[in-house]
Structure 1
Amino acid sequence: MDGPDSFPALSPKKPQQPGHMVNKITVVGAGNVGATTAQRIAEKELARTVVMVDVAEGIPQGKGLDQWQSAPIEGFDSRVIGSNGYDETAGSDIVVITAGIARKPGMSRDDLLNTNAGIVKQVSEQIKATSPNAIVIVVSNPLDVMCYVAKEVTGFPRERVIGMAGVLDTARYRGFLAEAMDVSVRDIQAMVLGGHGDTMVPLISYTSVSGIPVTQLLAKDKLDAIVDRTRNGGAEIVKHLKTGSAYYAPSAGAVQMVEAIVNDQRRILPCAAWLEGEYGMSGLYLGVPCKLGRGGLLQVVEVELTDAERAALEQSAQAVRDPMAAIKL
């Protein structure tokens, strides 16, 4: 019979392959998206210190303390701290920007434009001053334009300013597909490109279930309905919540990107990247397949698109350029 040492039930389970962990990751914004992002980063032990910054007095400190007190139960050693200023964030390896006002029912992402541009501009100035070598992941809406604001204000190269939208849009798309076909979400390979809004482009030609093209498994009208629901995935949640917007899936999307960078995973994920000729476009942020690793954006991957997909991507780009032109920096 085994001795008492064989009772592992009381030791918290550790991640099976602990990554390399960076020194410090900052999350700007301690609202629902920011706080959930910080907790997930800590639980995965992606950084020694996780700093949550927010202008609201006491909120980041209180939430940070609460999160740290979950560490003995969840079994992580990442130290979570909250702050109202940027001194504690100095020298961050990665900064996730979630700050900004959330959508309310009836609002489009573009309605948030100038308010959030002002917020993201201030945040970017602080990041540039305190963490000049950081990789910045933007989550604030309207996403593609906020990435542009962050890149312009920090002056960082495109490798170090990327946006989280495609991972979320793709997760919604995969979730709806899994439901419709009654299969595991794990077996659905898919990618949603374009701007993070009503013009996003789910690539049906690249959607498969364990390698089987989705068009062999679902009728066109069902697929079209799922594409439509994906485009309105955020609005559907806003309508239910009434006083806020999604945060569990957006935070999971941001952390998947952080993890790919910290652990140099070379994952190909749909992210908002600054285009410099790829897909025949330049001078804007757009959701495209990106290879992520320790340096941030390692490569924009160009895939062949059908004529319809290419036209949809062009239309999506225009929907990013218009609000971008309205921004005063």
Structure 2
Amino acid sequence: MTAISTPKLTVVGAGYVGATCAHLAALKNLAPEICLIDIAEGRPQGIALDMNQSAAIECFSSRVVGTNDPRDTYGSDVFIVTAGLPRKPGMSRSDLLEVNGNVMKSVAEYIRAGSPEAIVIVVTNPLDSMVTLMRHSLGFPARRVIGMAGVLDAARYSWFLSEAMGTAVQDVDAMVMGAHGDSMVPMAERCTVNGIGVLDLLDRDAIEAMGERTKGGGGEIVKLLKTGSAWFAPASGAVAMAGSILRDEKRMLPCACLLNGEYGIENLYMGVPAILGASGVERIVELPLRTESRALLQKTAGAIHEDVLAMRDLGLF
């Protein structure tokens, strides 16, 4: 496939993450029309007007449309779904299952009705559970329903490693797999700085410390903010994924994909490296893993499966 001509992008949720997604997408001219939808009357319209008035200064040609009407999203090629309740101090991602699960089901209804060929990127937490529910609610092929987490977690890992080594973060290429949460698996053996393995540049204890900090990266921000959670880096991750799809860039990015035998895991969404292009997930990249890393992936799979069972108990699907 080739890049989508005259694409339409919709961002669901005009909170900090959603608004930042719309802004970044406009700055990058990802689509002629970027729809920003929210249930709060006036909020997406006001944000859109403000963004459009910056176009002459920032020199972008995308037009942001703010709306409360799902019909305005119809015909979208890509959705970035950020709607839902953010974490508060002391809350785990799993605490959000019921409330955000109902949001996913509501959003899925109008995506299915008006954009049946769309590719959907889920950002809402708890991520692995919400993307599972979104795909179940939509009934779309798994390649067209993806979760944004690995790009964010890898970016956090890159930042922490660059600080520890005193190197430019642009030269750090990090990889994180598994769930988006405390059981994620930072892959130290797959991290490099301009082609040089991190294991050759930093001692094991320091690498372990940076991995642990990555696992708690979102919670660290929540504690500092006291109200709300991260938005700049999550938005950057989602827009990177959307850009690879809309422009058929075929970037290899870590994201939550439905596994069917890859890494020995069946019928479960989990963060893995994948090639993203105009058809969505074009290929899941299966890496040879050390025994320890493979065991950790199985552990994180168990944590995701528990949340899926909890959603069933709640009657979400």
Out of 76, 98, 111, the position equivalent to 2:95 is 111
Is 1:247–2:213 an aligned residue pair?
A: no
- Residue in 2 that maps onto 1:15: none
Question: Do the aligned partners of 1:193 and 1:286 also contact (CA within 8 Å) in 2?
Answer: yes
Is 1:63–2:47 an aligned residue pair?
A: yes
**Aligned-partner Cα distance in 1 for 2:242–2:230:** 19
Out of 247, 250, 275, the position equivalent to 2:259 is 275
Residue identity matched to 1:153: S
Is 1:153–2:137 an aligned residue pair?
A: yes
Question: Do the aligned partners of 1:21 and 1:46 also contact (CA within 8 Å) in 2?
Answer: no
Q: Report SS of the residue matched to 1:284.
A: strand
Question: Do the aligned partners of 2:7 and 2:246 also contact (CA within 8 Å) in 1?
Answer: no
**1:276, distance to aligned residue in structure 2 (A):** 1.1
Question: Do the aligned partners of 1:275 and 1:286 also contact (CA within 8 Å) in 2?
Answer: yes
Change (3 A) 1:22 1:183: farther
**1:184, distance to aligned residue in structure 2 (A):** 1.0
Q: Report SS of the residue matched to 2:202.
A: coil
TM-score of the two chains, using structure 1 as the length reference: 0.93
Question: Do the aligned partners of 1:20 and 1:46 also contact (CA within 8 Å) in 2?
Answer: no
Question: Do the aligned partners of 2:19 and 2:36 also contact (CA within 8 Å) in 1?
Answer: yes
Q: Which entry has the higher C-alpha Rg, 1 or 2?
A: 1
Deviations 1:243-267 (A, max 9, x none): 1000000000000001111111111
- Residue in 2 that maps onto 1:257: 241
- Residue in 2 that maps onto 1:163: 147
Is 1:297–2:278 an aligned residue pair?
A: no
Q: Report SS of the residue matched to 1:147.
A: helix
Out of 195, 199, 219, the position equivalent to 1:211 is 195
**1:175, distance to aligned residue in structure 2 (A):** 0.4
Q: Report SS of the residue matched to 2:79.
A: strand
Q: Report SS of the residue matched to 2:61.
A: coil
Question: Do the aligned partners of 2:88 and 2:222 also contact (CA within 8 Å) in 1?
Answer: yes
Out of 135, 160, 163, the position equivalent to 1:179 is 163
Question: Do the aligned partners of 1:147 and 1:162 also contact (CA within 8 Å) in 2?
Answer: yes
Q: Report SS of the residue matched to 1:47.
A: coil
**Aligned-partner Cα distance in 1 for 2:214–2:5:** 33
Deviations 1:99-126 (A, max 9, x none): 0000000101111111000001100111
Q: Report SS of the residue matched to 1:122.
A: helix
Is 1:202–2:150 an aligned residue pair?
A: no
Change (3 A) 1:324 1:39: same
Is 1:132–2:121 an aligned residue pair?
A: no
Question: Do the aligned partners of 1:25 and 1:49 also contact (CA within 8 Å) in 2?
Answer: yes
Q: Report SS of the residue matched to 2:32.
A: strand
Is 1:287–2:287 an aligned residue pair?
A: no
Deviations 1:172-214 (A, max 9, x none): 0000011111111111112100000000001111111111111
- Residue in 2 that maps onto 1:50: 34
- Residue in 2 that maps onto 1:79: 63
- Residue in 1 that maps onto 2:176: 192
Q: Report SS of the residue matched to 2:179.
A: coil
Question: Do the aligned partners of 1:125 and 1:154 also contact (CA within 8 Å) in 2?
Answer: yes
Matched length: 311
TM-align CA RMSD: 1.0
**1:326, distance to aligned residue in structure 2 (A):** 1.2
Question: Do the aligned partners of 2:274 and 2:285 also contact (CA within 8 Å) in 1?
Answer: yes
Q: Report SS of the residue matched to 2:164.
A: helix
Out of 222, 232, 249, the position equivalent to 2:206 is 222
Q: Report SS of the residue matched to 1:183.
A: coil
**Aligned-partner Cα distance in 2 for 1:20–1:177:** 36
**1:20, distance to aligned residue in structure 2 (A):** 6.6
TM-score of the two chains, using structure 2 as the length reference: 0.97
Deviations 1:266-304 (A, max 9, x none): 111100001111111111100001100111100100000
Q: Report SS of the residue matched to 1:290.
A: strand
Runs of 4 or more, structure 1, over 4 Å off, are none
**Aligned-partner Cα distance in 2 for 1:273–1:22:** 27
Deviations 1:153-172 (A, max 9, x none): 11000110000000000000
Q: Report SS of the residue matched to 2:238.
A: helix
Gaps of 5+ in 2: none
Percent of aligned positions with the same letter in both sequences? 52
Question: Do the aligned partners of 1:22 and 1:262 also contact (CA within 8 Å) in 2?
Answer: no
Question: Do the aligned partners of 2:178 and 2:301 also contact (CA within 8 Å) in 1?
Answer: yes
**Aligned-partner Cα distance in 1 for 2:5–2:183:** 36
Gaps of 5+ in 1: 1-18
Deviations 1:19-40 (A, max 9, x none): 8764210000000000000010
Residue identity matched to 2:29: E
